[in-house]
Structure 1
């Protein structure tokens, strides 16, 4: 396991309290939300980590591309975004994307927030939403699997191909009563779905709120 990741971010409405979690080795975090003057150096370090066997030509061409992705992620409100690359015994690579964001919920208790989130997600028949008790408190996990049809011009075989993608999304209400964190893992490596589910479970077991306080009353009208 790597060192705990400390997130201190803000929504458009207000500052989000700090939260920590741990991800396993194999994740490469995009430098989201860093100052402009630090972005070029950070992106260079990032692409060297993703492509350790590359050369200067590859790193210099890849850095601007991933820089644009990092800017888009920050603009979308993500506090953390990473690519997971895991070597397979067959010689290939299983890949996924992991992101963390926060949104305002102003809930009186985490339990009430989780109940509301579960009710909303369960109203969509395409969702598989379930209650999940974590060491940090109640949460809701929602799993979706989609089938995507790829046109022949974008496939290696030149034939129409069907691609299955899966998403695991977990809503974790903050104990402070103001925000809810959202952990999202997306992957097209469905053959390793069980492994990715276990990985998300392991990450969620490490979530903590360093400055957690007693739940506060909802004063919104």
Structure 2
């Protein structure tokens, strides 16, 4: 079980899939390439087409820089081989607070229903699947879509034009229980993405297991307000 602490000091427990490793925040291109080579292994990298290697490095850099800018509290990546074919994916967990007066946020049920409605009718809603799932930690809105999420410059991949790379994404929006964040509406947002769409069916059980493992330790039992008189008397 992995325990991470959101900002400010809210614990979230989850079971990280064994094939995922932490992503370095703010990595340089050299650091990203070194991480990719380490994960694949020198022998496998030597046999990879340059296009595949550059896509892996670009995906790592994208995730690394997004991690630094967004201030997420956990990010990891899976870089390896499935049935001999290269595969890569990324995973992040972040806390998102509601904007003041946001009509989407309310009790967990209202929040989940609002997110599903918003995602379903927003831009790209026709190709986006938004559904409610009941997790052990509470209700969640889960959104799945596939779109061009990465464009490789022609100069980097040796092609005549830039190369668009479709990316499949799953995002789970889990409202924090009131016992965990009593003073503000907040969501735990779990984001899984992969350009290796052909391996989607392999990844799905891993992501499902992670979502089912989510726990908010502070919500296990109601918080007891300390006695003011007892504190005053020392």
TM over 0.5: yes
How does 1:148-163 map onto structure 2 within 5 Å?
152-155=154-157, 161=163, 163=165
How does 1:6-85 map onto structure 2 within 5 Å?
6-10=3-7, 15-31=8-24, 47=35, 50-51=38-39, 53=41, 70=64, 73-85=67-79
Give 1 or 2: higher helix fraction: 2
* Residue pair 2:93, 2:190 contacting (<8 A) in 1 also: yes
Q: TM-score, normalised by structure 1?
A: 0.70
Give the C-alpha shift of residue 71 in structure 1: 6.5
Aligned equivalent of 1:164: 166
Aligned equivalent of 1:123: 121
* Residue pair 2:39, 2:79 contacting (<8 A) in 1 also: no
Give the C-alpha shift of residue 115 in structure 1: 1.6
Give the C-alpha shift of residue 49 in structure 1: 9.6
CA distance in 1, matches of 2:135, 2:87: 27
Q: TM-score, normalised by structure 2?
A: 0.66
Residues 84 and 149 of structure 1: CA distance in aligned 2, closer, same or farther (over 3 Å) = closer
Give the C-alpha shift of residue 28 in structure 1: 0.8
When structure 1 is superposed on structure 2, of 196-205 and 180-189 the one drifting more is 196-205
* Residue pair 2:36, 2:79 contacting (<8 A) in 1 also: no
SS in structure 1 at match of 2:73: strand
Give the C-alpha shift of residue 88 in structure 1: 2.0
> Which structure 2 residue ranges, 5 or more long, are not aligned?
43-59, 100-104, 224-234
Give the C-alpha shift of residue 7 in structure 1: 1.5
CA distance in 2, matches of 1:159, 1:71: 25
RMSD after superposition: 3.5
* Residue pair 1:152, 1:158 contacting (<8 A) in 2 also: yes
* Residue pair 1:168, 1:197 contacting (<8 A) in 2 also: no
SS in structure 2 at match of 1:205: helix
Residues 83 and 194 of structure 1: CA distance in aligned 2, closer, same or farther (over 3 Å) = same
CA distance in 2, matches of 1:68, 1:138: 30
SS in structure 1 at match of 2:17: coil
CA distance in 2, matches of 1:79, 1:135: 21
SS in structure 1 at match of 2:171: strand
CA distance in 2, matches of 1:151, 1:71: 18
SS in structure 1 at match of 2:207: helix
Aligned equivalent of 1:173: 175
> Which structure 1 residue ranges, 5 or more long, are not aligned?
34-38, 55-65, 216-221
